[in-house]
Structure 1
Amino acid sequence: MTSHNDQPSPMTFTAAPALSGSVAVPGDKSISHRSLMLSALAVGESRVEGLLEGEDVLATAAALRAMGAKITKVSAADGGGGRAMGADIRRDDDGIWHIHGVGVGGLLQPQEALDMGNSGTSTRLLMGLVASHGITATFVGDASLSKRPMARVTEPLSRVGASFTTSPGDRLPLTMTGACPAVPLDYTLPVASAQVKSAILLAGLNTPGITRVVEPIPTRDHSERMLKGFGADLEVEVQADGTRIITLKGEAELKPQNIVVPGDPSSAAFPMVAALLVPGSQVTIANVGLNATRAGLIDLLREMGGSIEIINAREVGGEPVGDLVVTASALNGVEPDPARAPSMIDEYPVAFVAAAFAHGRSIFRGLDELRVKESDRIATMATGLRAIGVTVEELEDGIIIEGSGGQPLPGGGPIATRLDHRIAMSFAVAGLVSRDGVTIDDMRPVATSFPTFTALLQTLGAIA
């Protein structure tokens, strides 16, 4: 695995010749987090292939270790050995992780603070797990994560009986004490958030009775798919207006599974947009997850005129998967329906780059959620796009971008990424279609989700 410090900082990406070749992106981050958590709560051994070994997912693994999971990384150097304590999680040389779970309700009191690094997903989902266990845990994170609000999770989890001591603004560091037995929750999501939904469902696993989540706007459904795969008694009812009602019977006994993690569509977004923008390019991105709750960017780019063909469509481990053949295309400005936001919430930064290169104006609205990501992604992208020569108007809930009509962007920098991996990668893509290159102030955060990002672009012919 590429470490956090393997990327030069700052780093300049310059105009690229036509990109070509076939690549695979790292495993899906959302599915990787959930596969570790649910495997650690199953009784018996689960196997996970294709796990994303980025820093965010490894933060989840470290936290599970601190709560009784044994995590060993098997290598030829240690002869396949490793330490054992509680649930056994180890990785073979072939990249398959083996997890021996402790069972629902089996998490132990951590002896030290749980360091979540930059991972909001790790924090919020693990808080859900702790909420229905009789343990106390302190969550800490890096400067970026410590600015992100946690009230959207602490509020519903307080209703199940968990108690919290938070930093000002309901932020990290925070200490929580779970309730055992917890109180089953009937909750309607006030905002579209797969993390909040998942935290409540995870709390419900060790709660007697029925936990019910009403989701007015559908979000990514990896938790529901995987919970059912592990044997949880979970049902999803879709009403005529699209509202989803998810019910989970508590005190579950999870059965071990063999999981194959598809390529992360949020990571595939970067080589996909790069291939569309760099003239003469054709790139195949293999084994990409195509879950409908995550495929909004593909739909958007096609509406803009992008040539994206899905081949070898199949289902792997309950998730739709396919290979994407992406051919350089002239793009047009677009004004997408704000209702699409949950299906591509992490892909908007690189979508803004595509819009900056398009013919005409693009207007993006309904993106309030981007204000509370790893950075304020609306403000950070607006500032960076202006710095490389793009005409931008920032809105309270979105952004207006005037496209270059397919002409190379001037370039410039250094771009302040605010410790945000997706901002860094988006401006790296912009550098490939610039006259003077784009300099990014810090590429190290990319290791949280896409450790091989720069090497992958170079494999396709990019210059960095």
Structure 2
Amino acid sequence: MLRVKQTNKFEGTVRVPGDKSISHRAVMFGALANGTTEIEGFLPGADCLSTIACFRSMGIEIEQQEDRVTVRGKGWYGLQEPVSRLDVGNSGTTIRLMSGILATQPFHAVMEGDESIAKRPMRRVVAPLRQMGAKIDGRREGEFTPLSIRGGELQGIAYTSPVASAQVKSAILLAGLQAKGETTVTEPHLSRDHTERMLQAFGVRVERDGCTVKVQGGQELQARSIQVPGDISSAAFLIAAVMVVPGSSLLIENVGINPTRTGIIDVVQQMGGKLELLNERVVNEEPVADLLVTHSELKGIEIAGDLIPRLIDEIPVIAVMATQASGRTVIRDAEELKVKETDRIATVVGQLRKFGATVTPTEDGMIIEGKTALSGATIDSMGDHRIGMAMAIAGLAASGETVIENDEAIAVSFPGFASLLEQISH
């Protein structure tokens, strides 16, 4: 259990763990590349370690020491048929991106994960991969795990995705790299583009036009060194901590500011928060900066439309900030929250109400009334790392003590979260 109390203020200079999305992809692409890929700043969280374990099960030599990883790639067809099921743990990124990779392989593999993964929708990836020629089966005709994949010769497709999902897009593009002809993916809104950027870093030709991405089949990846920036989704919790604790100021160094991920920055600034980008630069095709965050009085706003895919993982902690903003905050167009590690609409609303917050769920989001005085509560993370951390931040703004049960889930994306909060509190 994690115990949290009000603190006087946060201040100092900190770094957050490496970006989860980029860490996953660095290992995957390194395994498929020709040569040895060195990764610095890797996130040694449970999800990313699941990706390493899966590729080791397919014969890839991977050395990992904290945030430094060496992947000895064997080329696209150097993977071996696994002798047992591939366990993705709690990682949706692992299972969905690996579906695209396994669809190209001349062998059979079965993937499964934990109870949370067993409830998450897979047909959004399975359907387009089947169109390309992969043989995939699973519970309820491929809607749920375990997934059985027999790869082989694929045909490129032009796919219009009904959802803006980086995982869906990435699975199709990865399969497309070994399919005959051209593969295109068009989304309703632009989702995270870490896959496209990193493929280019590994020497792959990727064409982008608005919400459409295109690759040609038959392309190889070449190994390279990757520096993983800090994860903006993890930085979001520290940003929120500064905003809910008066007198706070933090410099968060080396944070990825990929424009498909910076919705949290836009929202904080729209709410009246002081957040400056310093020392902007580009590393491995990814934009990076230091964030200077200063406590500010926030006001409620409306969050909807194209902004949602750029901050979908940050909505739980945005809801916490909204309880401390003056006026009403409305979150719309966020149905995707229902198919995360938990139904995050129901979970955020239920847990925030325990603090005394006034939050109303809607079909596609929630309405938060502020500014509300919060009281310490006993919270269940429900096995969802972002819920656990978001409610810990709420505890910083609440009177009395807050207890986060099942706090071990936090290690999925932010190992050392509690000790870092302690380190910067005064």
Distance 2:190 2:122 in 1: 21
Aligned to 2:381: 417
Please give the per-residue CA displacement for 1:380-426, whole angstroms capped at 9, x wherever unaligned: 00001111100111100010001125xx411212x222210000000
Q: Is the 8 A contact 1:139 1:172 kept in 2?
A: no
Q: Is the 8 A contact 1:232 1:249 kept in 2?
A: no
Aligned to 1:90: 63
Q: Is the 8 A contact 1:205 1:250 kept in 2?
A: yes
Distance 2:65 2:317 in 1: 34
Q: Is the 8 A contact 2:9 2:425 kept in 1?
A: yes
Aligned to 1:53: 44
- Secondary structure of 2:361 counterpart: strand
Q: Residue type matched to 1:346 in 2?
A: D
Q: Is the 8 A contact 1:133 1:206 kept in 2?
A: no
1:313-352 to 2 correspondences below 5 Å? 313-352=280-319
Aligned to 1:15: 6
1:377 aligned onto 2:341: no
Q: Is the 8 A contact 1:380 1:416 kept in 2?
A: no
Please give the per-residue CA displacement for 1:312-365, whole angstroms capped at 9, x wherever unaligned: 111111111111111111111111232200101100000000001111111100
Aligned to 1:128: 100
My pick for the range that moved more, 368-377 or 330-339, is 330-339
Please give the per-residue CA displacement for 1:205-259, whole angstroms capped at 9, x wherever unaligned: 2222211111231011110011111111221123xxxxx2211111211111111
Q: Is the 8 A contact 1:357 1:404 kept in 2?
A: yes
Cα RMSD after superposing both structures: 1.4
Distance 2:406 2:64 in 1: 30
Q: Is the 8 A contact 2:122 2:145 kept in 1?
A: no
Q: Is the 8 A contact 1:14 1:431 kept in 2?
A: yes
Q: Is the 8 A contact 2:328 2:370 kept in 1?
A: yes
Distance 1:460 1:330 in 2: 21
Within the candidate set 58, 66, 71, 2:57 is matched to 66
The 4+ residue runs of structure 1 with deviation greater than 6 A are: none
1:217-256 to 2 correspondences below 5 Å? 217-238=189-210, 244-256=211-223
Please report how far the alpha carbon of residue 92 of structure 1 lies from its aligned counterpart in structure 2 after TM superposition: 5.4
Provide structure 1 residue ranges, at least 5 long, that are not aligned to the other structure: 1-8, 71-88, 239-243
Q: Is the 8 A contact 2:117 2:145 kept in 1?
A: no
Distance 2:258 2:281 in 1: 11
1:185-224 to 2 correspondences below 5 Å? 185-224=157-196
Q: TM-score, normalised to structure 2's length? A: 0.97
Aligned residues: 426
**Percent identity of equivalent pairs:** 45
My pick for the range that moved more, 137-146 or 280-289, is 137-146
Distance 1:185 1:150 in 2: 19
Provide structure 2 residue ranges, at least 5 long, that are not aligned to the other structure: none
1:306-455 to 2 correspondences below 5 Å? 306-404=273-371, 408-413=373-378, 415-455=379-419
Distance 2:386 2:32 in 1: 31
Please report how far the alpha carbon of residue 437 of structure 1 lies from its aligned counterpart in structure 2 after TM superposition: 2.5
CA, structure 1 residues 92+400, in 2 after alignment: closer, same or farther (shift >3 Å)? Answer: closer
Q: Residue type matched to 1:63 in 2?
A: C
Q: Residue type matched to 1:158 in 2?
A: R
Q: Residue type matched to 1:377 in 2?
A: R
Aligned to 1:6: none
Q: Residue type matched to 1:450 in 2?
A: F
- Secondary structure of 2:29 counterpart: helix
Distance 2:214 2:78 in 1: 23
Within the candidate set 22, 25, 43, 1:31 is matched to 22
Q: Residue type matched to 1:279 in 2?
A: P
Q: Residue type matched to 2:298 in 1?
A: L
Please report how far the alpha carbon of residue 170 of structure 1 lies from its aligned counterpart in structure 2 after TM superposition: 4.1
Distance 1:432 1:345 in 2: 23
